[in-house]
Amino acid sequence: MNRFYVGAMAVAVGLLACQGDPTASLRGGPFLITATPDLMFIAEGDERSVVVSVEDEQLNPLALDVTATSANPSVFTVRSDPLPATNKARSAFIVTAVAPGQAALTLMGGGLSKTATVNVLPLAFGGAPSTTTPGVGQVYTLLATPTLKFGAETKVSFGTGECGPADDLVDCPIHGLITSQTADAITVIVPRPDDLAPAPLTVEDVVVSYVTGLKATLPTAATHTVENTYSDSDAPDPADPDANFTVTAGGAPIVFYDGYTSAVCDDGVGGDCDRFYTITLAGTTTFKVDLEWYTAADVDLLFCDVGCANFVGNFAGATGANPESSTVTLAAGTYNLYFNVWLDEEEPPHLFKVTITPQ
């Protein structure tokens, strides 16, 4: 070997020995705290681990004690979760989500501190309902919460039922007819779902106010039982007193709502396609009936006598229009106001509005 080369190597080694490790000054002291993750999204009631490390300037983990504190224990709590012995230079903590909201997780160690953000996401919509036994056609109001608000596209669904075009029949939510809406409250007219059994409602387009841009579809925390206000009066002369109306010449208009289920009425399959309401007149009276609904179905408006053995009045309300309207003059007596789903177009009217206006 060349003696000059060997000598140069010896000099270089000697210099390094004199100078030491040029990165040595970056070792040893605490420089920063890292947390994985430092932005957490966790569902209410769930738990998730966060791993914390105190590091020097070379990002070497240091075996130092670390503490973790929740800024709001009503949103989440935190407890230690020691890592295996091979990870003594790192600390782990378990975050437990308590209630929807956002709060800071403060981490401290080696004289340093770091703040991570914990977002607890809701499993249900806890806004207060006006009632948990809403009736078909009645007014229902749902309030927002301090952290969960209503968006521009919010809908309240009261179960499921058939809707959609004929070539794409699906089960879909039955949305209430919105009469007023703000970020803090929504009021709807209750439709007739296929199933009246107790169940949560579904609230769409819920704005999670503490997470920018986040929206959710959530069930209500409260279970609701939808009641059929007028019962299924699919036979003439209904005994249901709510389905009996007295019309007085010159009197105030009578307005009510009702709805159908997803019976397929136009092909002979299923039932519950008709609705009857009793009309009582004290004397000869002229009055107008308007029937309007919110799907593509074709519903006819007719009048018949007791038992519906004979049609009376006219057939002006038996067209393909929506709304259907008919003005009749009938002598004193009792009659049936009769609605029939002529074609449901696979979109039965789960909610319709009736206005009876005496002349």
pLDDT digits (tens, 9 = 90+) for 184-203: 999 999 999 988 889 999 99
pLDDT top residue among 41 and 28: 41
What's the pLDDT at 4? 38
Fold (CATH) for 25-121:
Immunoglobulin-like (2.60.40)
Mean pLDDT of 245-269: 84
Res 9 pLDDT > 50? no
pLDDT for the residue 262 = 84
pLDDT band at 79 (very low <50, low <70, confident <90, very high): very high
Token couple for 254: 């009578």
Question: CATH 2.60.120.380 residue ranges in the chain?
Answer: 241-358
Report whether the peptide linkage leading into residue 323 is cis, meaning its omega lies within 30 degrees of zero: yes
Question: What number is the average pLDDT over the span 286-312?
Answer: 96
On the question of pLDDT at 319 being above 70, the answer is: yes
d(Cα 92, Cα 333) in Å, to the nearest integer? Answer: 82
With b meaning 16 or more CB within 10 Å and e meaning fewer, what string describes 48-66?
bebebbbbbeeeebbebeb
Closest CA to 340 of 233, 194, 196, 229: 233
pLDDT of residue 23: 53
As a whole number, mean pLDDT of residues 319-340 equals: 97
For domain 241-358, say whether CATH 3.30.200.20 is its number: no
Pairing mode, strands 274-281 and 324-330: unpaired
> Cβ distance 161 to 194 under 8 Å?
yes
Describe the strand order of the beta sheet including 185-189 as a list of residue ranges: 139-143, 185-189, 177-181
Average pLDDT, the chain: 89
Distances (CA, A) of 124 to 45, 202, 221: 12, 9, 5
Average pLDDT rounded to a whole number, residues 105-112: 96
Look at residue 259 in the predicted model and tell me its pLDDT: 93
> Does 284 have pLDDT greater than 60?
yes
| pTM given for the model | 0.83
Q: Where in the chain is the domain with CATH 2.60.40.1080?
A: 25-121
Percent residues over pLDDT 90 in the chain: 75
Contact predicate 194/221, CB 8 Å: no
Structure tokens at 97: 């989500």
**Beta carbons of 104 and 49 less than 8 angstroms apart:** no
